[in-house]
Amino acid sequence: MSGAALELRSVRKAFAGHVAVDGLSLSVRAGSVFGLLGPNGAGKTTTLRMVMDILRPDAGEIEILGRPADGSARDRIGYMPEERGLYPRMRLEEQLLFLASLKGVPRAAAARALPAWLERLGLADWRARRVSELSKGMQQKAQLLGTLLHDPELLILDEPMSGLDPVAADDVRRVLMQLARQGKTIVLSSHQMDTVERICDAIGLISHGELILAGAVAEVKQRFGRNLVALAFEGDGGFLATLPGVVALRDRGRHTEVQLAPDADTQQLLHAAAARLKLRRFEIVEPSLHDIFVEQVRAHATR
């Protein structure tokens, strides 16, 4: 296998004349965490279903773990679809052992591995309960556990944080980061940009089925840096908009972001602000993935 765990080359898929994925090419490095981003209807789920050979592309090629995406690598992949696929009347433990058996894991081996996973995801006290008795967030964690129990090399996760409260989301992020440190390759789609920033090495942003932005997270953020300064202060900061080099002000609730022209001097802004305000924070910041996402998707929509 090459350095890529997943390769898409000029992949296209249309439904009844609607092009869902249009010439998509991307590469996911083995052992990395890759975020597949895009607004609703962008083609993310269609792309992941083609990777899993649930849908066949109309054109292009997909290679998974060094092999064509024809199902031959399926047992080496853990796939978590956005829609829940659990049986509500089964007890949680039996459900998970059944899912492991579908991937060829002997029942005894799965039963040995299961308790530690239940503890890691906060489900140990619910192992004998029917799936229907679990909360929406617990069911989401259970579905993730079912995706992991056969120890896959590649994880394909479609909106894994959906329905999770902040504590449960932290549990899942911690597990994903541990798996990444173990060398697993993870591809996830998500609308939660904070999760993407925290755990992804690289991203691909698609809009209307086209890849409009790709790269390492740090490189993407550097590429869209705008000489942005975050300030928190006491007093009336309205005058900041009139200072030389200030392009825009953005009220972020607990702080204000000042966008400067590329050649503006941040020290001049600091001196001017400190002279008239009681500063609690003055920090040069990178643009967030949220802001980059919104800006790029809107720009693509107007082309």
226-285, what's its fold?
Alpha-Beta Plaits (3.30.70)
For the stretch 67-95, pLDDT in tens is: 888 777 778 899 999 887 899 999 999 99
For the stretch 248-302, pLDDT in tens is: 998 887 889 999 998 899 999 999 999 999 999 999 888 889 989 999 999 988 8
**The pLDDT value given to residue 132:** 95
pLDDT at 14 over 80: yes
pLDDT (average), residues 238-250? 92
DSSP-derived pairing of the beta strands 256-260 and 246-251: antiparallel
4-218, what's its fold?
Rossmann fold (3.40.50)
pLDDT at 120 over 80: yes
Beta bridge partners of 284: 229
Q: Identify the weakest region by mean pLDDT among 137-141, 172-176, 201-205, 251-255.
A: 251-255
pLDDT (average), residues 40-65? 93
- The per-residue DSSP string of 226-291 comes to --EEEEEEES--GGGGGSTTEEEEEE-SSSEEEEE-TT--HHHHHHHHHHHSEEEEEEEEPPPHHH
Query: Which H or E element spans position 171?
Result: helix 166-181
pLDDT at 136 over 60: yes
pLDDT (average), residues 123-151? 94
Residue 246 and residue 249: Cα distance in Å, rounded? 8
Q: Where along the chain do the CATH 3.40.50.300 domains lie?
A: 4-218
- Compute the mean pLDDT over every residue in the chain, rounded to the nearest whole number: 92
Q: Where along the chain do the CATH 3.30.70 domains lie?
A: 226-285
Of all residues in the chain, the percent with pLDDT exceeding 70 is 99
105-111 contacts: CB < 8 A, separation 24 or more?
105/149, 105/150, 110/149, 110/150
Secondary-structure percent of the chain, ordered helix, strand, coil, rounded to 5: 40, 30, 30
**The pLDDT value given to residue 1:** 42
